[in-house]
Amino acid sequence: MTVHIANDAEGMKLALEWAAKGLYTTSPNPRIGCVIVRDGRVIGEGVTQPAGQDHAEIQAMKDAQRRGHDVRGATAYVTLEPCNHHGRTPPCSDALVRAGLGRVVAAMEDPNPLVAGQGMARLAAAGIEVATGPMADEAHEMNIGFFSRMTRGLPWVRMKTAASLDGMTALHNGQSQWITGPEARADGHAWRARACAILTGIGTVKADDPQLNVRAVDTPRQPRRIVVDSRLDISPSARVLEGGGTWVVAAVDDPEKEAALRAAGAEIIKLPNPHGKVDLPALMRELGRRQINELHVEAGGKLNGSLIRERCADELLVYLAPMLLGDAQGMFSLPPLAHLGGKHSLKFHEVKQIGADLRILARFTTQ
């Protein structure tokens, strides 16, 4: 079916649809889509490939060539400014200049200091008409973690929890399977899949022995698994360590335990704070340094509360089930407040029904 592009908004909407095809695959690079249009007709389409492979612009030009189209004078819609530096691949801006594109429209300027407007400037200097801005908000959402890492040096931290309408995540005996329905659980796995890493605490590992991987949706790669374990209490046989590559974040030295965990394929990261616990803000900085764009947290109330108190969480992904559990385990272990001025304020970003349950995406606001 031939798609007719009547304006820049339609062109960018299609480019964003292509960017979404890279939701699970492009990290640590941003998810970028590109479509090339001539006389309202799409002649080439592409999405950024896994790190070290073609970016979206190159894919779209190759697609046009395979279809027998000449891209000279055509318009390229790309969801993020074309890169202008040598990384694992050559600059896309140079490739667009060599190909003779007539116009390049980007949704947003690249926040990477190595690009930051230079890509569009390179195109303009070569006589290519440039524009920036269509569907910028949607493009930012697509790469919210990449923008966070580039501008703050920190991953975008999304804290997921499932609870009853009265805010309970499990009974006092720990029973929690299943509070939410199958649709919500599958949706939660889709959010896991888009993350670069999944973080939990030793309490959850001891209580549930989770695999902490993606199972309910198809994904070409599994996120990194991270366990916050101040005293290195995790068992080398814990399922979260299966397959290797798990990062265990500790606050103590214990050569014997460390050796056993390394033999199980884990890496030990030591980040103690003055109280003998893991320094959570330091951990976020370390994850940014390790190119983690989106961090998905699935932990118990204690670690959830600590992350919130330390201002390490950016948003909550809450699934509410239509039930009441009464006095049980809550979502967040937070101290009582003496006055409302100490509250943690959020704003609702999205509310959607998933199966029988309600999904709320709420973002912390600056206080």
Residue 245 has pLDDT above 80, yes or no: yes
For 12-38, the pLDDT digits (tens) are 999 999 999 999 999 999 999 999 999
Buried b (16+ CB within 10 A) or exposed e, 338-350: eeeeeeeeeeeee
> 350 CB contacts (<8 Å, ≥6 apart)?
359, 360, 361
User: Is 204 annotated to bind ligand?
Assistant: yes
User: Is 185 annotated to bind ligand?
Assistant: no
- Pick 312 or 325 by higher pLDDT: 312
For 257-283, the pLDDT digits (tens) are 999 999 999 999 999 999 999 999 999
How many Å apart are CA 144 and CA 334, to the nearest integer?
27
User: Is 196 annotated to bind ligand?
Assistant: no
> Residue 242: its pLDDT value, please?
95
Encoded tokens for 305: 């509360």
Classify residue 110 by its DSSP letter: -
Encoded tokens for 350: 């999205």
Write down the catalytic residue from 10, 45, 57, 294. 57
> Residue 113: its pLDDT value, please?
76
> Residue 173: its pLDDT value, please?
64
User: Is 300 annotated to bind ligand?
Assistant: yes
Query: Which H, E and C letters describe the chain, residue by residue?
Result: CCCECCCHHHHHHHHHHHHHCCCCCCCCCCCCEEEEEECCEEEEEEECCCCCCCCHHHHHHHHHHHCCCCCCCCEEEECCCCCCCCCCCCCHHHHHHHHCCCEEEECCCCCCCCCCCHHHHHHHHCCCEEEECCCHHHHHHHCHHHHHHHHHCCCEEEEEEEEECCCEEECCCCCCCCCCCHHHHHHHHHHHHHCCEEEEEHHHHHHHCCCCCCCCCCCCCCCEEEEECCCCCCCCCCHHHCCCCCEEEECCCCHHHHHHHHHCCCEEEECECCCCCECHHHHHHHHHHCCCCEEEECCCHHHHHHHHHCCCCCEEEEEEECCCCCCCEECCCCCCCCCHHHCCCEEEEEEEEECCEEEEEEEECCC
User: What is the Rg, in whole angstroms, of the alpha carbon atoms belonging to the chain?
Assistant: 23
User: Is 266 annotated to bind ligand?
Assistant: no
How many Å apart are CA 269 and CA 219, to the nearest integer?
27
For 286-307, the pLDDT digits (tens) are 999 999 999 999 999 999 999 9
pTM of the model: 0.92
Rounded to 10 degrees, what is the CA torsion of 217, 142, 306, 327? -50
Encoded tokens for 92: 């896309």
Please name which of 23, 10, 78 lies closest in space to residue 45, comparing C-alpha atoms.
78
Query: Lowest mean pLDDT: which of 47-56, 89-98, 164-173?
Result: 164-173
Domains in the chain: boundaries: 8-143, 153-364
122-126: average pLDDT = 92
Angle between helices 8-20 and 56-66 (to 10 degrees): 100
Average pLDDT for the chain: 92
> Residue 143: its pLDDT value, please?
96
Q: Fold for domain 153-364?
A: Dihydrofolate Reductase, subunit A (3.40.430)
As beta bridge partners, residue 156 has 294
For 85-119, the pLDDT digits (tens) are 666 677 888 899 999 999 999 999 988 877 777 88
How many Å apart are CA 137 and CA 348, to the nearest integer?
16
> Residue 367: its pLDDT value, please?
47
- Pick 8 or 111 by higher pLDDT: 8
Share of the chain above pLDDT 70, in %: 96
- Pick 156 or 51 by higher pLDDT: 156
Q: Fold for domain 8-143?
A: Cytidine Deaminase; domain 2 (3.40.140)
Residue 1 has pLDDT above 60, yes or no: no
> Residue 175: its pLDDT value, please?
61
User: Is 132 annotated to bind ligand?
Assistant: no
User: Is 93 annotated to bind ligand?
Assistant: no
Is residue 57 annotated as a catalytic residue, yes or no?
A: yes
User: Is 192 annotated to bind ligand?
Assistant: yes
